[in-house]
Amino acid sequence: MIFEWLKQMIHDMGITEEMDLTTTFEELQMDSTELIDLSTAISKEYRIFIPDKELTDFSIGQVIERIELNRSLEQKVQ
């Protein structure tokens, strides 16, 4: 579900390359504005902040892991 959301967000930015969990944002050649927009969207949708500078080095799978970890920590707090 998170993967499909990320994939749609990236496609909505006009990036149409095929991607999987190992694809990095650098491989997708996302510019700084696109990374900021994606970071903002992730923050709004999943209540987790991942700085755009970190996204450059992350794979899609690593972002999903961060989001899932944040979700599990939120559930433990509740």
Report phi then psi at 69, rounded to 5. -65, -45
Euclidean distance between CA atoms 31 and 5, whole angstroms: 19
Q: Which structural domains are found in the chain, ordered by start?
A: 2-77 (1.10.1200.10)
Give the residues across from 24 on adjacent strands.
59
Mean pLDDT of 48-70: 92
Euclidean distance between CA atoms 11 and 19, whole angstroms: 10
- Note the pTM of the prediction, 2 decimals: 0.87
Kind and range of the H or E element at 72? helix 60-77
Q: What does the DSSP assignment read for 29-44?
A: T--HHHHHHHHHHHHH
Supply 19's token pair: 């991607």
Banded model confidence at residue 4, pLDDT cuts 50, 70, 90: very high
Q: What is the pLDDT of residue 74?
A: 74
Mean pLDDT of 38-59: 92
